[in-house]
Amino acid sequence: MAVMVATGVGAKNGMLIKGGEALERAQKVKYVIFDKTCTLTQGKATITTAKVFNGMDRCEFLTLVALVEASSEHPVAKVILQYACHFHLFEDSSAAKELNHGKDLKFSGWLLDVGNRRLLTESGVTIPRDAENFVVGLEESSKTGILVSYDDVLIGVLGVVDPLKKEATVVVEGLGKMGHQNSHGFRG
């Protein structure tokens, strides 16, 4: 009877429970790991900051990044294009797409690359201490740093955030009340 009640309560709360054995195993769970994108977040990323580290004009920086990302279908690339359009650097994202036909952009003979810390480091880009500190600050405030290099020199960082769903806090707090005190989100 208790299993029927538990599965019924779970169903009312959006959880499908596959019988009593699953309930017994669930009580022994020590860790809950979430892939935060669209699980705990809204799936509506936005750029919160753009910081240039080499003295380049901010509009030129955003234009270069948008040109590189114009041909990408990645959700963050689309956010970058929207951000550039917000500053009227392009009338719309199709204008940027017409200027770029590949993933990497050669601009005046120099190679521009956009990605995370690992991608740029593996490409031979050295990340200066001030830029590293900036990225760490973004991460500590639940943002993701998108790094940009120009001819293998880091020139700037974009801060991207995907807001939490309203329910996410309740879920994590509920897990804490159940004894799961250390909650960590992972990103790809």
Active site residue ranges: 35
Q: Is the dihedral of CA 112, 130, 160, 59 positive or negative?
A: negative
* 125: amino acid identity, one letter: V
- Residue 85 burial (CB count, 10 A): 17
* 171: amino acid identity, one letter: V
Closest CA to 80 of 152, 155, 151, 148: 148
Q: Is the dihedral of CA 170, 171, 177, 181 positive or negative?
A: negative
The C-alpha angle with vertex 28 and arms to 27 and 33, in degrees rounded to 5, equals 95
